[in-house]
Amino acid sequence: MQNFKNTLYLVFLCAGLSCVGLGCQQAPEELPPTPVEPSRLDPHSWSNPEAAEVRHLKLDLKVDFEARILSGTASLQLVAPPMDGRLILDTQDLEISAVSLLDGTPLPFTLGEGNDALGQPLEIELPDNAEALRIDYRTSPSARALQWLTPEQTNGSYPFLFTQSQAILARSWVPCQDTPRVRMTYEATIQVPPPLLAVMSASNPTERATDGVYSFHMDQPIPSYLLALAVGDLEFQSTGERTGVYAEPAVLSKAAWELAETEAMVEAAEELYGPYAWDRYDVLFLPPSFPFGGMENPRLTFATPTILAGDRSLLALIAHELAHSWSGNLVTNATWNDLWINEGFTVYFERRIMEAIEGREYSEMLAQLGYQDLEAVVEELGATSPLTHLRLELGPEQDPDDVFSDIPYEKGYFLLRAIEETVGRQRFDEFLRSYFEKYAFQSIDTEEFLSTLRQDLVAGDASLESELLLDAWITGPGIPPNSPVVHSTAFEPVEAELARWTSGTAAKKLHTAGWNSHQWLHFLRHLPKPMSLEQMRDLDGAFSFTTTGNSELLNAWLLHGIANSYPPADPAVEGFLRSMGRRKFLQPLYTKLAETPEGLERARQIYQTARATYHPVAQATLDGILNP
């Protein structure tokens, strides 16, 4: 893998040289008759970037809310024409009406069979010298990247559309080389019904266009999974010089209040690992059906409104998406088997930002909760499961989203923290700064990370090498023995009060004044299992968990509610499951319900009507639990 890039450059160089002044007279080779195979470089793409990389994309799309279709053209510019005249792109459920040169000359193309996970390869025959082409196409109403919302599913009275391209969904709305190994710049013209506003992972408007036509450009090269579009009744409010929020009018001022510290976060991040490379950092709050907490679309993080707790207590999520501006968007995982390169580094960076802003005690709470998540996911997947390796070995039949877990996040975090604690923070920070600089706007796989770590940090120190246990982390299961164990002093009073409560003190008598939501989460996670109805009532009477506006706490509480058949939880669970589409909450709650026959019955009943309100990504996960 590691040498591929060099080989690729050589190929480009030769291709480029042979074109200079020679009129590119390579003999056209015949298309091999074999069916398209997944890329040698990325098991989750059909594309052949080793033959020709897409360097620039120009989208011209019309958004049709009635038909739930995007239609128009994608024009692709290649760095050099493929030597065998064959370009393969990824698509999924796209209707391709024509492929042509930019002057309109039609080009022969075929849509291969493909598979369920990867979609269909679009094979295009290009004449010699062709460095640009145009594809006329439309999306399917069931495109997996797109969620079309009715006005009832929003906070206003207009329909809404948003995309979610990571991991391999971009191909369902743009024909592209859908692999994080390839980067391109892009520009777009998007036509929407006025008065709606369109925003993208690009330069963005702050005012509505009366004709509904918006133009965008993204001048820094990005991988396809960072292509993003949202259309709705959106307004903008500034929160700082480089920062601001977009949201529906009913949510805007609440969102701007909650995110008032964003500019300070950008500054803290720059202080740690170097200049912010993307000009602006804005956050778009989506309607509640957004399936993730956040998505690091460049220049414009997409976020769930479930972090608007009203007390700025869930901002680590913004720190996380901001941190991706370095780890992920600048230095990108080469394949989805290397996801920890994006997510593990980002969790590490997120906690460093939170430490800079809120202090060490605060970030240690996040880290300890993270360790609990790590233990839970290892327990769930099994201590010897290959899915607990940092580097995964998924093949082309397996959608990376189907095995999404906390492993790349928390095991990745604890590896980096183990390195930090072994070599010292100063030395590790120097390494990270040079890492972000060295690999900016490139994609690297786990092997490349290891080789740069060994070269730039370990530097031949044999005892350091053996102390780090890198193989155990990367290709071994479970939690390696040199993992740091976190002990947050802020959780000590929580544990003391828990002990008082379990030994009979009434909940109302506990000393909980001034606890923040992480302390409450720690409390909720360590309640006894099972609890009696009397105990549940005692807690709820004192702390009103069933009606809390904090989504993290509600989720944790309702899990106890279901497990202990606590009657007031019934309507609350149903209300929560119908009010938002964040997979992180839907998945455990539906799973918990499904543990008993009556619960499964109820879960299926709720899901039957709620399913249509969830994003295809969440639907796929929940279908697996409830198999409707």
Q: Which does 268 bind (CB under 5 to 8 A by kind): ligand BES, Zn ion, none?
A: none
Q: Which does 293 bind (CB under 5 to 8 A by kind): ligand BES, Zn ion, none?
A: ligand BES
| Contact of 562 with 602, CB cutoff 8 Å | no
Binding track, positions 582-621, relative to ligand BES; x by CB under 6 A:
--x-------------------------------------
Looking at the Cβ atoms of 159 and 412, the one nearer to ligand BES is 412
Looking at the Cβ atoms of 256 and 295, the one nearer to ligand BES is 295
Binding track, positions 150-169, relative to ligand BES; x by CB under 6 A:
----------------xx--
Residue 254 is inside which H or E element, if any? helix 249-258
Strand 69-78 versus strand 132-138 pairing type: antiparallel
Give the pair of three-digit tokens for residue 34: 């074999």
Quick one: three-class SS letters along 504-562?
CCCHHHCCCCCCCHHHHHHHHHCCCCCCCHHHHHHHHHHHCHHHCCCHHHHHHHHHHHH
Cα(380)–Cα(382) distance, integer angstroms = 6
| Contact of 130 with 102, CB cutoff 8 Å | no
For the segment 167-196, give every residue that binds ligand BES (CB under 6 A). 167
Looking at the Cβ atoms of 282 and 343, the one nearer to Zn ion is 343
Q: How far is CA 252 from CA 244, 246, 435, in A?
A: 10, 7, 37
| Residue 35 C-beta: closest distance to ligand BES, Å | 28
The residues near 366 (Cβ < 8 Å, ≥ 6 apart) are 316, 350, 351, 354, 518
| Residue 572 C-beta: closest distance to ligand BES, Å | 22
Please give the DSSP secondary-structure letter assigned to residue 410: I
Give the pair of three-digit tokens for residue 128: 């010699």
Q: Is 467 a catalytic residue?
A: no
Q: Which does 180 bind (CB under 5 to 8 A by kind): Zn ion, ligand BES, none?
A: none
For the segment 341-360, give every residue that binds ligand BES (CB under 6 A). 343
Give the pair of three-digit tokens for residue 547: 């009606």
- In angstroms, what is the C-alpha Rg of the chain? 25
Q: Which stretch binds ligand BES (CB under 6 A): 65-73, 170-178, 288-296, 418-426?
A: 288-296
Strand partners, 96: 137
Q: Is 321 a catalytic residue?
A: yes
Looking at the Cβ atoms of 37 and 402, the one nearer to ligand BES is 402
| Residue 341 C-beta: closest distance to Zn ion, Å | 11
| Residue 254 C-beta: closest distance to ligand BES, Å | 20
| Contact of 622 with 586, CB cutoff 8 Å | yes
Q: Which stretch binds ligand BES (CB under 6 A): 68-76, 88-96, 188-196, 287-295?
A: 287-295
* Cβ atoms within 10 Å of 72's Cβ, excluding its own: 18
Looking at the Cβ atoms of 537 and 584, the one nearer to ligand BES is 584
Q: Which does 317 bind (CB under 5 to 8 A by kind): Zn ion, ligand BES, none?
A: ligand BES
- Size, binding site for ligand BES by CB under 6 A: 15
Residue 161 is inside which H or E element, if any? strand 160-163
Give the pair of three-digit tokens for residue 291: 């399936």
Looking at the Cβ atoms of 317 and 586, the one nearer to ligand BES is 317
Q: Would you count residue 296 as binding ligand BES (CB under 6 A)?
A: yes
Long-range contact set of residues 385-388: C-beta below 8 Å, sequence gap at least 24: 385/477, 386/477, 388/477, 388/478
Give the pair of three-digit tokens for residue 88: 């393969």
Binding track, positions 305-334, relative to ligand BES; x by CB under 6 A:
------------x--xx--x----------
For the segment 361-420, give every residue that binds ligand BES (CB under 6 A). 404, 409
Q: Which does 445 bind (CB under 5 to 8 A by kind): ligand BES, Zn ion, none?
A: none
Residue type, 446: T
How many residues make up the chain in this entry? 628
Binding track, positions 328-347, relative to Zn ion; x by CB under 5 A:
---------------x--x-
Q: How far is CA 396 from CA 43, 229, 342, 393, 546, in A?
A: 5, 27, 20, 10, 43
| Residue 385 C-beta: closest distance to Zn ion, Å | 22
Residue tagged active-site, from 321, 350, 420, 448: 321
| Contact of 329 with 226, CB cutoff 8 Å | yes
Looking at the Cβ atoms of 166 and 224, the one nearer to ligand BES is 166
Residue tagged active-site, from 158, 409, 413, 614: 409
Please, is 500 exposed, middle or buried when counting C-beta atoms within 10 Å of its C-beta (0-12, 13-18, 19+)?
Answer: middle
| Residue 370 C-beta: closest distance to ligand BES, Å | 9
| Contact of 323 with 350, CB cutoff 8 Å | yes
Looking at the Cβ atoms of 96 and 200, the one nearer to ligand BES is 200
Q: Which stretch binds ligand BES (CB under 6 A): 292-300, 467-475, 504-512, 604-612?
A: 292-300
Q: Cite the DSSP H helix spans in 59-152.
A: none
Binding track, positions 267-306, relative to Zn ion; x by CB under 5 A:
----------------------------------------
Q: What is the DSSP string of 176-226?
A: B--STT--EEEEEEEE--TT-EEEESSS--SS--TT-EEEEEEEEEE-GGG
Looking at the Cβ atoms of 82 and 288, the one nearer to ligand BES is 288
Looking at the Cβ atoms of 327 and 546, the one nearer to ligand BES is 327
Binding track, positions 547-586, relative to ligand BES; x by CB under 6 A:
-------------------------------------x--
Cα(296)–Cα(370) distance, integer angstroms = 20
To the nearest 10°, report the CA torsion of 525, 526, 530, 532: -100
Residues that bind Zn ion (CB under 5 A): 343, 346
Residues that bind ligand BES (CB under 6 A): 166-167, 292-296, 317, 320-321, 324, 343, 404, 409, 584
Task: Report, as residue numbers or ranges, the catalytic residues.
Answer: 321, 409
